[in-house]
Structure 1
């Protein structure tokens, strides 16, 4: 008996990776979240940059692409813990990405 793999449309979405948003702490499919990574910007500072293609090297954190989740993550200081970095974290690149994303929607 030959077993065939079901077509992509028939597969359930549970086989896709699930990640937790660092802002609201809700679990979602990774395709619905924005990956962000930290880039060193000086002796004691980091820039948090969006990684929409999920290709940048380094440890990533996941975030709903919404300003509410971004502000929650900043308020809770979740980026530092999730990305395992300390010092000043500049999130302006992510803020700009989200603003541009909503302008084009």
Structure 2
């Protein structure tokens, strides 16, 4: 019987470092540890607020986002949080905006967009 050597790929097809998620802003796939998990929390009056799930243990659907102002702006522009979290209306996004501003160390136009989202019924 002839045995053949199987060529070993230079790069494995799948990464094995952990789960891979898609950023709702830029739509690029990244390891989950490199992204923020954003969860919708009900205010009790029929409205939702977005919060950053740092521990990764809040209940409900999560949307994943790069901790970058460009991805946050793209998510606002595409209205991606509502689709990803399967919620109706425009949620309060101020907590996510503050977290991203704090992590990048700069103020951004995302704060204006968050204020606009909160004022829209």
Quickly name the TM-score band, shorter chain normalised: 0.7 to 0.9
| Whole-angstrom distance in 2 between the partners of 1:40 and 1:92 | 14
Tell me the equivalent position of 1:14.
15
**Contact kept in structure 2, 1:44 and 1:87, CA below 8 Å:** no
Deviations 1:13-68 (CA, angstroms, capped at 9, x unpaired): 81210000000000001011000000112434211111122111111010000111
SS of 1:31's equivalent in the other structure is: helix
The structure with the largest strand share of the pair is 1
**Contact kept in structure 2, 1:44 and 1:88, CA below 8 Å:** no
Tell me the equivalent position of 1:55.
57
Shift of 1:102: 2.4
Match of 1:90 among 87, 92, 108: 92
| Whole-angstrom distance in 1 between the partners of 2:33 and 2:70 | 19
Shift of 1:96: 0.5
Question: Segments of 4+ in structure 1 off by > 3 A?
Answer: none
Unaligned ranges ≥5, structure 1: 1-12
Unaligned ranges ≥5, structure 2: 1-13, 106-121
How many residues get paired?
A: 91
Q: Which has the higher contact order (CA 8 A, sep 6+)?
A: 1
The TM-score, its normalising length taken from structure 1, stands at 0.80
Shift of 1:94: 0.4
